[in-house]
Amino acid sequence: MHVLFKHLRKAGNTEQRREYSHYLAQQMGPMIHALMLVGALAYLVAVIASTLVNHSSLPLWLRLVPLPPLLLVASSTRYVRQPRLLSSLTLLCVVLLEIGINLNGVDDVHRRSVVLPGLLLPVASSVIWLGRWDFLAAMLLCALGPLPMLLFGGTDNMQVLQYLVYMAIAIALSTVLRAFMARTLFEQFRLERQLREQVNTDGLTGLLVRNRFLELARLALGDIRLRQQPACVLYLDADHFKSLNDNYGHAAGDAALIALASVIRRQMRQGDLIGRIGGEEFAMLLPGLDLQQAGARAEQLRQSMHEILRPDGPLTVSIGVAECDHAGEVLETLLARADQAMRQAKRDGRDRVVSA
Ligand SMILES: Nc1nc2c(ncn2[C@@H]2O[C@H](COP(=O)(O)OP(=O)(O)OP(=O)(O)O)[C@@H](O)[C@H]2O)c(=O)[nH]1
């Protein structure tokens, strides 16, 4: 059994757990909505059916009281994808259903059928609970919910005992169902995340691939513009890379690219974006830096590259720097200006930084 729960420990750091609970809310949201609606409709049908065969001391309108809030809450789950709110609404549905079970079962204790909806609830809802605590709270509600009806409805101890035994079985069953569902969903989440990372990350250098870099840089640039912050783009190209490949083989070229990426990564701050946008071409978005500050960072980067030793000497790079013009300049033109500056650095003799 502990294998079923192992995934919960594997859910990793807080960031990953948050991502996972949002993923669960997205995946389970439609099912929660459908189940809650079915629960509300089932309640209506059960009340009508029991009215036809039973004479309850409680008036019909009173037994129908939980229905409007139940329908309202069940309907609202269609639009909610925030994990905590979704869990709270789902728990509220269970509370309303338990109130309904008590209102309808109060006169029916001698026909054990009253116990049935109470037993159905934990099993039917077992797979929809997003977190461990939601599940525990729901099971507790399901177990304790019908007790007022049983304790104050004139049932004998034998019936209460029977109820407790069946409820324990129902909760054990739902625990297993939920564990299987949670394990399957966690595995799916892990695989999808891995796939997304593979698609977005360059296999050789571990940096962002071109399309992902452009996508994130566009978003970041919009944010930077809103905050009226400065920002610069660096366009970096390794020098004489073809001769490295031609003279020493592609493996030597690959090793140089890996080392180059690791130097860039070492010098980046949180919030900087780095992408491999061509074979030996890299782009960086540096939020918060003006042209002079970004030029200094580029110069530092250029010098650090000399630490990497190619078979024919130190690795050198040419870097172009361009500052974001806040008059609505799009990423493409900003990158094009940095690229032009980089080409100028090549023309000026390579191994240098040129600002646009
Ligand atoms: N080993 C290796 N080489 C790559 C990779 N991607 C691109 N290249 C090589 O990088 C080289 C780029 O050559 P060029 O564009 O002519 O530029 P260069 O020789 O660096 O000359 P300059 O940029 O003018 O200094 C080509 O030989 C590509 O095959 C890669 O992933 N691995």
Answer yes or no: is pLDDT of 315 > 90.
yes
| Higher-confidence position of 346 and 128 | 346
pTM: 0.67
Counting the structural domains of the chain, the total is 2
CA of 235 to the centre of ligand 1 (A): 15
pLDDT band at 110 (very low <50, low <70, confident <90, very high): low
pLDDT computed for residue 12 by the predictor: 60
Q: Say yes or no: CB of residue 209 within 6 Å of ligand 1.
A: no
Do 221 and 137 belong to one domain?
no
Q: Say whether 299 is catalytic.
A: no
Do 174 and 283 belong to one domain?
no
Longest dimension (CA), the chain: 98
Q: Say yes or no: CB of residue 245 within 6 Å of ligand 1.
A: yes
Query: Which token pair is 202?
Result: 């360059």
CA-204 nearest atom, ligand 1: 31
d(CA 4, CA 255): 42
Query: Which token pair is 123?
Result: 């099993």
pLDDT computed for residue 325 by the predictor: 82
CB neighbour class for 40 (10 Å; exposed up to 12, middle 13-18, buried from 19): buried
CA of 245 to the centre of ligand 1 (A): 7
Q: What is the mean pLDDT of the segment spanning 297-304?
A: 96
Do 131 and 276 belong to one domain?
no
Do 174 and 235 belong to one domain?
no
CA-252 nearest atom, ligand 1: 1
Chain segment 44-92, per-residue pLDDT in tens: 998 888 888 776 778 889 999 999 999 999 999 999 999 999 999 999 9
Do 215 and 71 belong to one domain?
no
Using left for φ > 0, alpha for ψ between -120 and 50, and beta otherwise, residue 67 falls in alpha
d(CA 341, CA 355): 6
Select from 176, 199, 222 the last residue of a domain. Answer: 199
CA-241 nearest atom, ligand 1: 20
CA of 233 to the centre of ligand 1 (A): 21
Do 276 and 348 belong to one domain?
yes
Do 131 and 274 belong to one domain?
no
Residue range(s) defining the domain that contains residue 304: 208-355
d(CA 153, CA 105): 8
CB atoms within 10 A of CB 125: 26
d(CA 252, CA 241): 10
Q: Say yes or no: CB of residue 238 within 6 Å of ligand 1.
A: yes
pLDDT computed for residue 163 by the predictor: 84
Q: Say yes or no: CB of residue 250 within 6 Å of ligand 1.
A: yes
Answer yes or no: is pLDDT of 349 > 60.
yes
Select from 150, 174, 199 the last residue of a domain. Answer: 199
Select from 146, 175, 199 the last residue of a domain. Answer: 199
CA of 343 to the centre of ligand 1 (A): 15
* Predicted-complex ipTM score: 0.96
Q: Of 187, 192, 280, 332, which one is the catalytic site residue?
A: 280
Q: What is the CATH number of the domain that holds 309?
A: 3.30.70.270
Pocket test for ligand 1, best of 245, 254, 347 (most atoms within 8 A of CB): 245
Q: Say yes or no: CB of residue 237 within 6 Å of ligand 1.
A: yes
Do 95 and 8 belong to one domain?
yes
CA-238 nearest atom, ligand 1: 20
pLDDT band at 285 (very low <50, low <70, confident <90, very high): very high
Do 38 and 183 belong to one domain?
yes
